[in-house]
Structure 1
Amino acid sequence: MASTWLGPKERAASLAAMAEEEFDVLVVGGGIVGAGIALDAVSRGLSTALIEARDFASGTSSRSSKLIHGGLRYLEQLDFELVREALHERGLLLTTIAPHLVRPVPFLFPFSHHWERAYIGAGVTLYDALALTSRNNRGLPAHRHLTRSGALRVFPALRRDALAGAVQYWDAQVDDARFVTTVLRTAAGLGARIAPRVQAVGFLREGEHVVGADARDLETGDEVRIRARQVVNAAGVWTDDIQEMVGGRGQIHVRASKGVHLVVPRDRIQASSGMILRTEKSVLFVIPWGRHWIIGTTDTAWDLDKENPAASRADIDYVLDHVNQVLRTPLGRDDVEGVYAGLRPLLSGESEQTSKLSREHTVAHPVPGLVLIAGGKYTTYRVMAEDAVDAVAHGLGGAVPASVTDRLPLVGADGFAALANQRHVLARHSGLHVSRIGHLLRRYGSSIHDVLAMIRDRPDLGRPLAGADDYLRAEVVYAAQAEGARHLEDVLSRRTRISFETWDRGIAVAEEAADLLAGVLEWDEEQTRREVEFYRKGIEAERAAQEQDTDQEADAIQHGAPEIVPDAQVRRP
């Protein structure tokens, strides 16, 4: 097995291989779908390369609700197959694929009229029943009905007059960005060549056939011509832009829907369970997240900057207004510790409302050598990847083995259960508190040994970051050495969640983190200073955007923030 690390040396080796070899598959896009495709392809024996123009999971795949779920609301839309499929995948992730990263979480579903008990109860009963049809179901606790008093014992923060009773059920959650990186590391361990900050600027053609892509290393400006027998576009909300590169709108049209989430400290809402609320447009989740709650989301059409969608004052007020309808002590803007906005890539339909557009996915083969995939939801990424590689296999003329990713544990999964039982032993041997060991196990699984080895070699890395003491200094270094982080924002926004888990959104820790990264990424003093300055300017723009009343005003401010690595000029046909 090749190295599962995605550090600077591995990136350089991948780029060298991309310039010299012809691959069976080139994947464009390093979000969850692209990562899943790379893993599915390489685990079937196909030589595989993946490029991502920015950081891994820097778009939609780091800005979700962090849930692995069947989508209870899709039952109301009678989309039973989508729910069943997603619940099957939830079971696989909990039991086989990533038990170290995906964990159960309870949700309270309150109702304000007694007649709703039968309706909601029937829906949740069907939800649990569909989960049981999968032989991989972990056996999460069954739902239970609660009286008003029972619901208030679980969720004391609710107003008594806001509910007549409730149903409690179980789903699962994940750190979405960390999961993407782990999928990519697993693919690298099987031989996939993977490089972030490499942008496809045009497709290579031989007649009507797409035979690869011209790309640019955004770190150096170097051009690289990557040849591949099949190219898969997994660019999410950029799908239409990629299709333009081969001449025209193509077979798939994607519309972006903006979802905004708020992060508030755990002590602002007294509860031992998450919560789901119905709104006039969709649903609103209150999700436990360590020492915080994540509250979201909005669902509005977005046609502005796709790279950094902006949250406006109206978005924040919308979420606060809806959650405050049921809270005994309302939340104010001063309670909001962090905000993040992401774009869902929805397949365009007849509806003008993004909340009505499809969460199904589709695969197309618009021209020979090019496969497009779009739509879907995070939980079903593996199914999407399997379908895309099946299309690749067809383009290669068949004779490609079937997918094996339903029984392929990700990096860190093997041995996780035993290590979780041995956390007190690990704490004694490492000198770290057992709670620190638990934190590291939930983030790295059995790869915790890599992090502990770094601390043994450099005891200073065992100290917490000043200003973000949930994280150790070692985690910053490991992010660059093993997890593909190239810039300060990659670490503070995605390898950790410091950018929305601290009141100053990571400003206080930026210099310390940059100094740690400099040693791994060979930055000089000027580059280290630039990294801190660019991060600060990005946070300032983000905060200013959130004071604006409209999407256009918010986008104008946030879009004006400088990028540490600007995009290349894309070649159009």
Structure 2
Amino acid sequence: MATTSPLSGDLSPEYRGNAIASLRATTESRQELDILVVGGGVVGAGAALDAVTRGLDVGLVEARDWASGTSSRSSKLIHGGLRYLEMLDFALVSEALKERGLLLTRIAPHLVRPVPFLYPLHKRFVERPYVGAGIALYDIMSFTGSHGRGVPLHKHLSRRGTLRAAPSLKPDAMVGSIRYYDGQVDDARMVTNIVRTAAHYGAKVVNRVSVVDFLREGERVVGAKVRDHESGDVFDIRAKQVINATGVWTDDTQALITDRGQLKVRASKGIHLVVPRDRIQSTVGMILRTEKSVLFVIPWGRHWIIGTTDTDWNLDKAHPAATSADIDYLLEHVNRVLVRPLTREDVEGVYAGLRPLLAGESDSTAKLSREHVVAHPVPGLVVIAGGKWTTYRVMAKDAVDEAARSLDERVPESVTETITLLGADGYQAAWNRRGRTAELSGVHVARVEHLLQRYGSMVRHLLAMIAENPALGEPLPGADDYLAAEVVYAVTHEGARHVEDVLTRRTRISIETWDRGDAAAPVVADLMAGPLGWSAEQRDHEVEVYLARVKAERISQEQPDDASADAERIRVADIVSAT
């Protein structure tokens, strides 16, 4: 395979080797990076992109896979946050709505798209003016900026109009509703795309590389000692400034360098269920009030996502586990408004994630701050924590601003408001041409649409792969929505290193199929083996570990409480290549 250009944005195995060599050279040649970002979630990826597009020399390391923590386990929404409006947090809502518009219309129109929701009304006269005024304000606030809203305005619906839009709702569950719009994104795909865009502009980005210690000269942090989990090598990376963007691991990472950390992060567990689209008859999503928070029923391709919970979590951060009680809680609340109740047998997939909330006095994680904070606890180390997925770009900008203040040279202002992600340029033209593309490629137009909404204008790369090897145009076993070409592309262009990376993040097969990827795993391993140079033993090991993971997750979801669910889930360790 030809060596990938370092400015192509293709995270091939060859690129990874070259990037590691460049990071090692910061110590061997004493040519330190300007900024090393630790953490490959959405904020860390955003910080790497922000810094490199200011002209800085940037490295990014992630201990596991891109978005493997919180950033791949969200509600998949890009939204202003209606509940924060009710809390009178106008600044947070306004900021988030601006970012929503940017993502929908400029930065990532191929990955973020409008999604409609119903807000059910229960009181005939009092509630509609109050809620209507709030949603009208939500719409008005989204007009700020010159980038455009990206979504239609809200509309009031009668009870009859509500039932036409959502026939599965009980007639007595509401007296009417208000339809409004927010944005939706495949969170893991978005993060990988941000990382690729950072690499395209020259950042050196590597996954499966963890920080084991920080380098110091006196009180100053001057880089990090890291371990490559693929080879087992330990080496140093020198940098003028280090940005710690490790989310729920913030306290753990800070503890490597100081006990004077100014930020404390508390993890809140949220779980989501995935059910087939035909289980709920509706053309729109729904937002439902619960005694603790809000519950979303979100359209997701041929599925619905139902979530979320909001409970304290103090156990394994890498693999938060959903319990039987969590699943029952969501089913109980959504069934209050459905004509035909959902059962356990309707649940295709379950996933759990942890929100990194700034610790406060409240006993309830639902009341802790979603604002973000940047700190500089010791010279050379910047810490960013808190915030929400939608405002990742602002968080990244603020972190880089803080790091830039300590650099010797004058650093330009952030330009990420104008930087489009890979695949965005030419996307609308490619979408308009999708019928012609289908005719020329021999790939069904529905498949072309699927690829366009995942890769944007980069779809040409996958269609070229299929043209060269038609077998790559076949769907994966048990996962008809995904093609074999996407597996190979995940390895050659998106930095996938293991079967789990493909089945849980490059695709969403692990939550969208009844068997959670069991049938697809051997085929995925076969497709990955060539580009990654796996032996037959490595290939078999990858499949065994993935199947064991699925089994452990299923067992954990039958447990009554967090402790027992966590004990079952952590029986299966993360896969590592190094011995």
Q: Normalization by structure 2: what TM-score?
A: 0.97
State the alpha-carbon separation in 2 of the partners of residues 525 and 555 from structure 1: 32
- Alignment correspondent of 2:177: 166
State the alpha-carbon separation in 1 of the partners of residues 286 and 15 from structure 2: 42
1:88 aligns with 2:98: yes
What secondary structure does 2:249 align onto?
helix
Cα deviation code 1:221-257 (max 9, x no counterpart): 1012000000000000000001100021500000000
- Alignment correspondent of 2:14: 9
- Alignment correspondent of 1:32: 42
- How far 1:564 moved relative to its partner? 0.8
- How far 1:139 moved relative to its partner? 4.7
Code of the residue aligned with 1:347 in structure 2: it is L
State the alpha-carbon separation in 1 of the partners of residues 235 and 206 from structure 2: 12
Work out whether residues 52 and 202 of structure 2, in 8 Å CA contact, stay in contact via their aligned partners in 1. Answer: yes
1:225-236 to 2 correspondence within 5 Å?
A: 225-236=236-247
Cα deviation code 1:326-372 (max 9, x no counterpart): 00100001100000000000001111100000000000001000000
- How far 1:467 moved relative to its partner? 1.4
State the alpha-carbon separation in 1 of the partners of residues 227 and 362 from structure 2: 38
1:201 pairs, out of 180, 192, 212, with 212
- Alignment correspondent of 2:271: 260
Code of the residue aligned with 1:293 in structure 2: it is W
1:111 pairs, out of 92, 96, 121, with 121
1:185 aligns with 2:196: yes
- Alignment correspondent of 2:133: 122
- Alignment correspondent of 1:447: 458
- How far 1:111 moved relative to its partner? 1.7
Work out whether residues 8 and 521 of structure 1, in 8 Å CA contact, stay in contact via their aligned partners in 2. Answer: yes
What secondary structure does 1:412 align onto?
coil
Cα deviation code 1:45-85 (max 9, x no counterpart): 00000000000000000000000000011011110000000
Structure 1: runs of 5 or more not aligned: 569-573
State the alpha-carbon separation in 2 of the partners of residues 244 and 351 from structure 1: 24
Work out whether residues 199 and 567 of structure 1, in 8 Å CA contact, stay in contact via their aligned partners in 2. Answer: no
Code of the residue aligned with 2:425 in structure 1: it is D
Structure 1 runs, 4 residues or longer, greater than 6 Å off: none
What secondary structure does 1:259 align onto?
strand
Code of the residue aligned with 2:298 in structure 1: it is I
1:287 aligns with 2:292: no
- How far 1:401 moved relative to its partner? 0.2
State the alpha-carbon separation in 2 of the partners of residues 140 and 546 from structure 1: 37
State the alpha-carbon separation in 2 of the partners of residues 325 and 535 from structure 1: 36
Code of the residue aligned with 1:338 in structure 2: it is G
1:238 aligns with 2:252: no
1:252-331 to 2 correspondence within 5 Å?
A: 252-331=263-342
State the alpha-carbon separation in 2 of the partners of residues 155 and 287 from structure 1: 13
Residues matched between the structures, number = 568
State the alpha-carbon separation in 1 of the partners of residues 223 and 432 from structure 2: 48
1:356 pairs, out of 332, 350, 367, with 367
- Alignment correspondent of 2:69: 59
State the alpha-carbon separation in 2 of the partners of residues 53 and 271 from structure 1: 40
- Alignment correspondent of 2:29: none
**1:249–1:301 distance in 2 versus 1, CA, 3 Å:** farther
- Alignment correspondent of 2:535: 524
- How far 1:427 moved relative to its partner? 0.3
Work out whether residues 231 and 578 of structure 2, in 8 Å CA contact, stay in contact via their aligned partners in 1. Answer: no
Cα deviation code 1:102-154 (max 9, x no counterpart): 00000000021122111211110110010012322235211111111110000
What secondary structure does 2:147 align onto?
coil
State the alpha-carbon separation in 1 of the partners of residues 578 and 147 from structure 2: 43
Structure 2: runs of 5 or more not aligned: 1-5, 27-31
Cα deviation code 1:30-56 (max 9, x no counterpart): 000000000000000000000000000
State the alpha-carbon separation in 1 of the partners of residues 179 and 480 from structure 2: 33
Cα deviation code 1:169-194 (max 9, x no counterpart): 01110000000000000000010000
- How far 1:319 moved relative to its partner? 0.5
- Alignment correspondent of 1:571: none
State the alpha-carbon separation in 1 of the partners of residues 370 and 131 from structure 2: 22
Work out whether residues 240 and 249 of structure 1, in 8 Å CA contact, stay in contact via their aligned partners in 2. Answer: no
State the alpha-carbon separation in 2 of the partners of residues 551 and 466 from structure 1: 33
State the alpha-carbon separation in 2 of the partners of residues 453 and 147 from structure 1: 50
State the alpha-carbon separation in 2 of the partners of residues 413 and 139 from structure 1: 15
- Alignment correspondent of 2:415: 404
1:102 pairs, out of 98, 101, 112, with 112
State the alpha-carbon separation in 1 of the partners of residues 292 and 144 from structure 2: 30
State the alpha-carbon separation in 2 of the partners of residues 280 and 566 from structure 1: 46
Work out whether residues 274 and 304 of structure 2, in 8 Å CA contact, stay in contact via their aligned partners in 1. Answer: yes
State the alpha-carbon separation in 2 of the partners of residues 247 and 138 from structure 1: 43
1:485 aligns with 2:496: yes
Work out whether residues 156 and 270 of structure 1, in 8 Å CA contact, stay in contact via their aligned partners in 2. Answer: yes
Q: Normalization by structure 1: what TM-score?
A: 0.98
State the alpha-carbon separation in 1 of the partners of residues 338 and 145 from structure 2: 36
State the alpha-carbon separation in 2 of the partners of residues 548 and 488 from structure 1: 26
Code of the residue aligned with 1:541 in structure 2: it is A
Work out whether residues 28 and 50 of structure 1, in 8 Å CA contact, stay in contact via their aligned partners in 2. Answer: yes
Cα deviation code 1:409-443 (max 9, x no counterpart): 00000000000000011101110000000000000
1:545 aligns with 2:550: no
Work out whether residues 114 and 150 of structure 2, in 8 Å CA contact, stay in contact via their aligned partners in 1. Answer: no
- How far 1:464 moved relative to its partner? 1.0
What secondary structure does 2:405 align onto?
helix
1:506 aligns with 2:525: no
State the alpha-carbon separation in 2 of the partners of residues 363 and 535 from structure 1: 37
- Alignment correspondent of 2:3: none
Work out whether residues 44 and 401 of structure 1, in 8 Å CA contact, stay in contact via their aligned partners in 2. Answer: yes
- How far 1:567 moved relative to its partner? 11
State the alpha-carbon separation in 2 of the partners of residues 394 and 182 from structure 1: 28
Cα deviation code 1:309-335 (max 9, x no counterpart): 000000000000110010010000110
Work out whether residues 537 and 562 of structure 1, in 8 Å CA contact, stay in contact via their aligned partners in 2. Answer: no
- How far 1:281 moved relative to its partner? 1.0
- Alignment correspondent of 1:19: 24
**1:341–1:73 distance in 2 versus 1, CA, 3 Å:** same
- How far 1:562 moved relative to its partner? 2.5
State the alpha-carbon separation in 1 of the partners of residues 521 and 577 from structure 2: 21
What secondary structure does 1:70 align onto?
coil
Code of the residue aligned with 1:526 in structure 2: it is E
Moved more, 116-125 or 532-541: 116-125
What secondary structure does 1:452 align onto?
helix
State the alpha-carbon separation in 2 of the partners of residues 138 and 310 from structure 1: 37
Code of the residue aligned with 2:479 in structure 1: it is A
